Amino acid sequence: MEAMPRELWPARLHHLRRDSPKPEPLARFYGELLGDPVGPLADGSWLVAGRGRRLVVGQGAVASVPYFAFELQDAAHLSAYRLQWSKTEAFSSPLFADGAFAVHDPDGRRVAFGIPKGTDAPNGLPGRLQHFVCATTRLSEMLEFYRRLGMVESDRVLEGNELSAVFLRSDPEHHSFAAFRAPDSRPDHHCYETTGWLDIRDWADRMGRLRIPLWWGPGRHGPGNNLFFMIEDPDGHKVEFSAELELMPKDMAHRTWPHESRTLNLWGSAWMRS
Ligand SMILES: [Fe+2]
């Protein structure tokens, strides 16, 4: 792999795929959770899509996320970015125009890049798909890979001299990807960014009506300084709702946080992955 970071900036998370042995009930769960329509796709997977968010739900291992996909600025950005890779594979998605491609990260997960096609339906409460987070056994390797991919490190968490979490951005939003050190590599959560704290109230009220208990929060993360709560989907994969995520210019240096519960929740108890 080339030593210099590639020119990804600015790019945003556009969609991801959540797999399960029984995809249709999971797609229906997300449709109800988000208030978004659910429809079948040609390859047998399901699309749950609303305002600023799209989730492909397919057949696969329980709680898995086989890929996540970034939206680049335009076709010129996409083709220039692709030229910076020596090896890519075609990425076929009903949500992206021709020319999309993917690479594999050190955990084997595909990271896709493309230009969206179609328009969003204005359904449900505001919550734009904003970041994806995984747990990994090879955190340093993942940090190196995602930096060379063109992401910029925003914050890192250290236990002594050892990395325990990294947060990376692909536009001024604090992170569109993050990774936690853990005993096994797996998806961790994905997040919907809302327009403010009152949206967090409205989403939590929605969870109440749906009898979906809040799993963690409300709280405020140290890295990103965002207000949040999380719930679990039926496979135990976590789903986060967030507000007021910090903005950082491209050239701002990363900060360092200690590996302690207060870093993950300035207000109280935390979910420690290691
Ligand atoms: Fe998050």
| pLDDT tens profile 136-172 | 999 999 999 999 999 999 999 999 999 999 999 999 9
Determine the distance separating the centroid of ligand 1 and the alpha carbon of 42, expressed in angstroms: 31
What is the edge-to-edge ordering of all strands in the sheet holding 186-193? Answer: 216-220, 227-232, 238-243, 186-193, 128-136, 177-181, 162-169, 152-159, 255-258
Q: What pLDDT sits at residue 123?
A: 75
pLDDT in tens, 95-138: 999 999 999 999 999 999 999 998 777 778 999 999 999 999 99
How crowded is the C-beta side of 138, counted as CA atoms within 13 Å? 10
Residue type, 238: K
Determine the distance separating the centroid of ligand 1 and the alpha carbon of 83, expressed in angstroms: 31
Determine the distance separating the centroid of ligand 1 and the alpha carbon of 245, expressed in angstroms: 10
Q: What pLDDT sits at residue 273?
A: 87
Determine the distance separating the centroid of ligand 1 and the alpha carbon of 161, expressed in angstroms: 23
pLDDT in tens, 77-100: 999 999 999 999 999 999 999 999
Determine the distance separating the centroid of ligand 1 and the alpha carbon of 191, expressed in angstroms: 6
Determine the distance separating the centroid of ligand 1 and the alpha carbon of 207, expressed in angstroms: 18
Determine the distance separating the centroid of ligand 1 and the alpha carbon of 242, expressed in angstroms: 8
Minimum mean pLDDT range among 48-52, 152-156, 191-195 = 48-52
Determine the distance separating the centroid of ligand 1 and the alpha carbon of 76, expressed in angstroms: 30
Q: Is residue 1 scored above 60 in pLDDT? A: no
Mean pLDDT of the chain: 96
Averaged pLDDT, 221-240: 97
Averaged pLDDT, 2-26: 93
Determine the distance separating the centroid of ligand 1 and the alpha carbon of 227, expressed in angstroms: 10
Determine the distance separating the centroid of ligand 1 and the alpha carbon of 22, expressed in angstroms: 25
Determine the distance separating the centroid of ligand 1 and the alpha carbon of 265, expressed in angstroms: 11
CA distance 133 to 166: 10
> Counting beta carbons within 10 angstroms of the beta carbon of residue 42, is it exposed (0 to 12), middle (13 to 18) or buried (19 or more)?
exposed
Q: Is residue 2 scored above 90 in pLDDT? A: no
- Give the pair of three-digit tokens for residue 62: 């329980």
Determine the distance separating the centroid of ligand 1 and the alpha carbon of 135, expressed in angstroms: 12
Averaged pLDDT, 35-64: 96
Whether this prediction's pTM lies above 0.85 is answered by: yes
Confidence of residue 3 (pLDDT cuts 50, 70, 90): low
Q: Are 53 and 192 in contact (CB under 8 A)?
A: yes
Determine the distance separating the centroid of ligand 1 and the alpha carbon of 8, expressed in angstroms: 21
Averaged pLDDT, 190-213: 98
Q: What pLDDT sits at residue 139?
A: 98
